[in-house]
Amino acid sequence: MIFNKRLVLAHFWLAFAVFGVAILLGEWQMFIRSPLHGWLRNADLYYRSVTAHGTIMGYVFPTLVAMGFGYAFSEISLKQKLVGLRWAWAGFWMIVIGTLGAAIPVGLGLDSVLYTFYPPMVGHASYYLGVVLVVVGSWVWVVLMGVNLAVWKRANPGAPVPLPMFATVAGAYLWGWTAVGAASELLFQILPVALGFSSTINAGLARVLFSWTLHAIVYFWLMPAYIAFYTIVPRAIGGRLYSDTMARLSFALFLVFAMPIGIHHLFADPEVGSGFKFLHSVFTAMVAVPTLLTVFTICASVEIASRLRGGKGAFGWVKALPWDNPQMLALALSFVLLGFGGAGGLINMSYQLNSTIHNTQWVTAHFHLIFAGAIVIMYFAIAYDLWPHLTGRVIADLRMIRTQLWLWFIGMVVLTFPWHYAGLLGMPRRMAFYDYTAPGGDTQALTVMMSVVGGAILVISAALFLTVLIRNHRAQALDPGPYTFSKPVHEPVNLPFALNGLGLWVGLMIALTITNYGYPIVQLLQMHDAKVPAVYVGGKP
């Protein structure tokens, strides 16, 4: 049972409201970069849009989804009211105030610095303070997830921790630790310059600190999607979870391997030695282990559901799957997008191949396929699954949901596949305008126009998604019954210490992070000639 539905709905509705704004900004960026117009020539407007779009989609939207999702799953799986309700609301309002504090200076053109905080560009201090407030608000959630689990374990000594809570707390701890990198960059590098205490900045150190957050944040975004794979989909399609143990191991390994990999984003940066770049490349490959565990476990779970429905044969069981079930459809589409995005990521993580696509549209295509594609489509599935239990009303129009999911998939393919090709042609990212009259420009123009079409399809899909949720609030009231999770084939009775808590894995996560980041950070701190003049966006403070 969800005891605090208003708290969960507040997080979800704020998340989906800002998501709607970000989608419109994204489509506008596609249009302004295309040759379809000749009258928009203000590059600053483009970069304001990129900053707002990236800040919302990178920090605000997924953080709010994870928080709302976490509060709901904590109460349902532990069967206890949330401990620390007032603190949870305080965290929510911190995020509201922080988002407004960051959005206003961006709208005024004082912070067109991109959401990646890449110095020596430095904007107005209020933007950074707003982002810090968003992070602090989310840390309240991290603490509350740990506290609620501890309270439950004290009341249930030795009992297996419910898998949904085990995974939710793993995601919370991952976020709590990975956010330390960006927070350190903001507090100790950028804010002193933005507030006027210094006019120079150690750009290399700042970028290394941001890389601490930069890639592990993707796995924080992924956690709700993976939790849905394991705990929602098998139940929703009438099956069983193949293995509770493999699920716990997968989340634990994500916690460990997601952290020490971010420097592979700095392959072209001279401040970091090649040894650590190679080390991070290797650890990036290790993330494939929990990913493959998940793919295997979920495919096995789906096959169980099909066999229970009468599916037969080596491949004939695929036909017997409930393809009209939105959860089944969302899972399949998410896996396809995850496969394409993961394949592109192999190029990004390779120490040798990365140079062929570095800083091109290929990179943009990769992370949009992973986040906006594989992850966001599962955020839709989570909302569709939870909404009747939050509103006490039934979502009746499944055809609209299926249409919305298909449109999102098609739009994402049309948007990102041309970007991959453009990246191979060498088209740089983060550019407001391109010279389409240059040799080869007509080919690049075609890819950008296709991305405009893809973006338009995504806008329609997002509008349908919001329509479904809004209509549900006015639908006929009906008791949806108790919310349940997927049952594993073998219920856990006694779990080893390592899989019934996260202490061991948090220790490994911290140790590996220090090993992989400690030396580069200390080295950059000791470089006295590493500071460069700050480039102020929007004027000096």
- Residue 492, phi-psi category: left (phi > 0), alpha (psi -120 to 50), beta (remainder): beta
215 is annotated as an active-site residue: yes
In a domain, 358, yes or no: no
* Between residues 167 and 530, the one the model is more confident about: 167
Q: Does pLDDT of 117 surpass 90?
A: no
* Between residues 268 and 371, the one the model is more confident about: 371
Single out the catalytic residue among 48, 265, 368, 393.
368
How far from each other are the two terminal CA atoms of the chain, in whole angstroms?
51
Give Cβ neighbours of residue 33 (< 8 Å, ≥ 6 apart): 46, 431, 432, 433, 434, 448
Single out the catalytic residue among 229, 367, 380, 536.
367
In a domain, 71, yes or no: yes
In a domain, 515, yes or no: yes
- Which tens digits make up the pLDDT trace of 130-142? 999 999 999 999 9
| C-alpha atoms less than 13 angstroms from C-alpha of 5 in its C-beta half-sphere | 9
Single out the catalytic residue among 33, 248, 366, 389.
366
Rounded CA-CA distance 135/449 in Å is 36
Angle at 319 between CA 316 and CA 325, to 5 degrees: 150
**Dihedral angle at the C-alpha atoms of 416, 418, 424, 429, nearest 10 degrees?**
-60
In a domain, 451, yes or no: no
37 is annotated as an active-site residue: no
Mean pLDDT, residues 77-95: 97
> In this predicted structure, what is the pLDDT of residue 352?
81
**Dihedral angle at the C-alpha atoms of 408, 410, 415, 421, nearest 10 degrees?**
150
Single out the catalytic residue among 33, 215, 265, 280.
215
What is the pairing mode between strands 535-536 and 121-122? parallel
Q: Does pLDDT of 364 surpass 70?
A: yes
H/E run at residue 170: helix 163-184
The percent of residues above 70 in pLDDT, for the chain, comes to 99
Mean pLDDT, residues 104-122: 87
In a domain, 502, yes or no: no
> In this predicted structure, what is the pLDDT of residue 118?
78
Single out the catalytic residue among 240, 309, 358, 429.
429
> In this predicted structure, what is the pLDDT of residue 112?
86
Integer angstrom CA distances of residue 532 from 8, 119, 171, 205: 45, 9, 36, 11
Residue 61: count of CB within 10 angstroms of its CB: 24
Rounded CA-CA distance 288/458 in Å is 29
Rounded CA-CA distance 281/350 in Å is 6
124 is annotated as an active-site residue: no
Say what the pTM is.
0.96
Residue 493: count of CB within 10 angstroms of its CB: 7
251 is annotated as an active-site residue: no
Residue 18: count of CB within 10 angstroms of its CB: 19
In a domain, 163, yes or no: yes
Rounded CA-CA distance 114/292 in Å is 33
Angle at 493 between CA 488 and CA 498, to 5 degrees: 95
Mean pLDDT, residues 113-131: 89
Q: Does pLDDT of 396 surpass 90?
A: no
- Which tens digits make up the pLDDT trace of 414-449? 999 999 999 999 899 888 888 888 887 888 899 999
> In this predicted structure, what is the pLDDT of residue 351?
81
Q: Which of 14, 164, 66 is CA-nearest to residue 378? A: 66
> In this predicted structure, what is the pLDDT of residue 37?
74
In a domain, 341, yes or no: no
Q: Does pLDDT of 387 surpass 70?
A: yes
In a domain, 58, yes or no: yes
Cβ pair 207, 524 in contact under 8 A: no
Q: How many independent structural domains does the chain possess?
A: 1
H/E run at residue 533: strand 532-533
Q: Does pLDDT of 38 surpass 80?
A: no
pLDDT level of residue 57 (50, 70, 90 thresholds): very high
Q: Does pLDDT of 394 surpass 70?
A: yes
pLDDT level of residue 40 (50, 70, 90 thresholds): low
Single out the catalytic residue among 61, 219, 229, 465.
219
> In this predicted structure, what is the pLDDT of residue 540?
67
Mean pLDDT, residues 348-365: 89
The percent of residues above 90 in pLDDT, for the chain, comes to 78
Give the mean pLDDT of the chain.
93
Burial of residue 160 (number of CB atoms within 10 Å: 0-12, 13-18, 19+): middle
pLDDT level of residue 350 (50, 70, 90 thresholds): confident
Cβ pair 81, 151 in contact under 8 A: no
368 is annotated as an active-site residue: yes
- The CATH number linked to 152 is 1.20.210.10
Q: What is the gyration radius of the CA atoms in the chain, in angstroms?
A: 23
Single out the catalytic residue among 309, 402, 430, 471.
430
Q: Does pLDDT of 478 surpass 70?
A: yes
What is the pairing mode between strands 532-533 and 200-201? antiparallel
Cβ pair 454, 411 in contact under 8 A: yes
> What residues make up the domain containing 25?
1-216+507-540
